[in-house]
């Protein structure tokens, strides 16, 4: 006995969510079947409204809701710092640390030849234009500590070299609360080579 | 910096999915932000159409799509067997084994006083009415091997006692491909007490 056609459609759309395979999508779909029509309608409405209600700032690329972008104000520009991030989500994480008060620049992606992302698609000219316009003195690269993040950081550093400005990258080391026994070799090696006077 | 209001709404609706907490819901929501308006509209449409496109058979309670219920035909009734399941999903799993060709009866829930499910809500009178109408000779209880499943199975057996028909329950034992080292004590004990001549 096969699933009804509409159930198959529902499962296939749920499988587009990140990390959701067949089993989870089926579980979600069968759960949806038990919801009231009102809740389903509300969910459909919220999903459909995403493109109109949630926009990306055309300047920095961060998420901005329906108001003006709160991350592009003059006080931030006055710090003459810009932080390069891979996705709008990273801005929320960095903001919540309260360690940084400068501009942001969303790349939208990292270099990944396998996924068809090459250097031209990073749109660095936009970043360079903003650096010049705001007379930025420090570019903080806040990218993942992965192969793609490393490659992208290296590429950005090279591209920004002619501008003769400070380019920094987030520190690598032991995560908070970690035990040496459980930390992987790569992290430990990087923590060693970046050791500080205590 | 807080998430925009619409993003919070999206996260809260995604958190209704089973096993989805804050972190997963945020991950799903940020993924949805990268989808095209067409895909979002399609997803919204599919979700909204669930109540009209996927119905439960009023006779057995199984899922039936837009056609008549394929599990309520006369050939199945002629076997004089009925299988009691907790949710419409279980019928798909049992059908795929090809071990059973009889009627189904969806309880919709199992006894669970903590979740406010008590015996009156199981609607056993509907099951009893169907047993009498189809002159059923065997009721197969296919409920989970959990406290709730056990309690419900016991209750059904007691309620069906006056009808003087065969009531069976799925066998308990070692799952296929399991190693004794990894099987829990409860399963092993049940497999021992139900051992067969080999």
Q: Contact B51/A40, CB-based, under 8 Å?
A: yes
Distance CA A8, CA B61 (A): 19
Q: Global pTM?
A: 0.78
Give me the residue label for tokens 């419900």: B152
Pair of tokens at residue B157: 């057996």
Most A-contacting residue of B44, B71, B83, B103 (CB-CB within 10 A), to test interface: B44
Q: Contact B6/A46, CB-based, under 8 Å?
A: yes
Residue B181: band (very low, low, confident or very high) from pLDDT cuts 50, 70, 90:
confident
Pair of tokens at residue A83: 């932080």
Q: Shortest CB distance from A4 goes to which of B10, B33, B54?
A: B54
Distance between alpha carbon A23 and the CA centroid of its chain, in Å? Answer: 27
What's the whole-number average pLDDT of chain B?
89
Beta-sheet pairing, B166-169 with B138-142: parallel
Distance CA B129, CA B152 (A): 18
* pLDDT value of residue B44: 96
* Strands, E assignment, chain A: 81-85, 103-106, 138-142, 166-169
* pLDDT value of residue B70: 86
Distance CA A164, CA B1 (A): 32
Distance CA B137, CA B116 (A): 32
Q: Shortest CB distance from A6 goes to which of B6, B28, B65?
A: B65
Measured in angstroms, the CA of B161 and the nearest CA of chain A are apart by 31
Which segments of chain A have a pLDDT < 50? none
Q: Which of A34, A12, A31, A50 is nearest to B15 (CA)?
A: A31
CB A72 within 8 A of CB A60: yes
Q: Which domains does chain B have, with CATH numbers?
A: 5-53 (1.10.8.420), 68-169 (3.40.1360.10)
Q: Contact B28/A42, CB-based, under 8 Å?
A: no
Q: Contact A49/B18, CB-based, under 8 Å?
A: no
Higher pLDDT pick, B49 / B190: B49
CB A52 within 8 A of CB A63: no
Q: Which helix (H) or strand (E) holds B139?
A: strand B138-142
**Number of other residues whose CB lies within 10 A of the CB of residue A178:** 13
Q: Which of A62, A64, A66 is nearest to A102 (CA)?
A: A62
Q: Shortest CB distance from A47 goes to which of B4, B24, B40?
A: B40
Q: Contact A28/B44, CB-based, under 8 Å?
A: no
Could you read off the pLDDT of B113-167 as tens digits, one per residue?
A: 677 667 777 778 899 999 999 999 999 999 988 888 888 899 999 999 999 999 9
Distance CA A161, CA A50 (A): 39
CB A182 within 8 A of CB A175: no
Q: Which of B111, B96, B106, B148 is nearest to B126 (CA)?
A: B106
- Contact residues, chain B, for A4 at CB < 8 Å: 53-54, 63-66
CB B60 within 8 A of CB B117: no
Q: Shortest CB distance from A33 goes to which of B45, B46, B54?
A: B54
Q: Which of B53, B56, B44, B39 is nearest to A5 (CA)?
A: B53
* pLDDT value of residue B26: 93
């Amino acid at each position: 006995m096969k699933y009804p056609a509409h159930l198959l459609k529902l499962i296939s759309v749920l499988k587009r969510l990140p990390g959701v395979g067949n089993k989870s999508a089926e579980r979600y779909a069968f759960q949806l079947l038990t919801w009231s029509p009102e809740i389903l309608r509300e969910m459909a409405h919220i999903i459909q409204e995403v493109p109109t209600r949630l926009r990306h700032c055309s300047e920095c690329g961060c998420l901005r809701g329906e108001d003006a972008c709160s991350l592009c104000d003059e006080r931030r520009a006055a710090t003459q710092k810009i932080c390069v991030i891979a996705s709008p989500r990273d801005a929320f994480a960095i903001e919540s640390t309260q360690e940084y008060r400068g501009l942001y620049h969303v790349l939208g992606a990292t270099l990944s030849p396998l996924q068809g992302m090459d250097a031209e698609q990073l749109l660095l000219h936009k970043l360079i234009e903003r650096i010049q316009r705001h007379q930025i003195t420090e570019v903080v690269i806040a990218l993942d500590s992965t192969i793609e993040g490393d490659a992208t950081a290296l590429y950005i550093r090279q591209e920004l070299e002619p501008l003769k400005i400070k380019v920094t990258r987030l520190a690598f080391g032991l995560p908070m609360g970690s035990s040496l026994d459980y930390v992987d070799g790569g992290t430990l090696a990087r923590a060693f080579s970046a050791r500080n006077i205590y």
